[in-house]
Structure 1
Amino acid sequence: MTRFSPTDLSPEAKASRSVPNNPNPLCRDFQPKAEPSGFWCVNCNWNRPMHDDERTRQAIAAELDRLPAGGTPTP
């Protein structure tokens, strides 16, 4: 069962869709990767806009907490 609709653009929905693909904590110090990938952080692999919003940061942390130790998301 999906917790969020595919069209939901809330930080929580975005985190739910993104964390299984990038199960890294969001850092607080965005450092761009070398071009042409400068939109992404070299430290945590999240994109620049994710670093700018505390609600997004909390949503990512909550989704990371939902992942079991094996890295597979829970329903």
Structure 2
Amino acid sequence: MKEHPTLKAFLAQRDKSLDNQRRSALQKRHARGYRTARENLADLCDPGSFQEYGQLAVAAQRERRGIDDLR
């Protein structure tokens, strides 16, 4: 099945926001003794009971910083 280019771009952007794609950010948090929000939610919620929304939301700083910098 052929994927639509827009869907392909959406899936690529979504995948970049996952913790396993952000290893350096994850290592920094763990080095400071912090956990990620997803790690905390995994402990609080039953598996499969939490649905994440706003995963692709961009900070409201677009006048000061470029979109690529905010993603």
Please state which band the TM-score falls in when normalised by the shorter chain: under 0.3
Larger proportion of helix: 2
TM-score, length of structure 1 as denominator length: 0.27
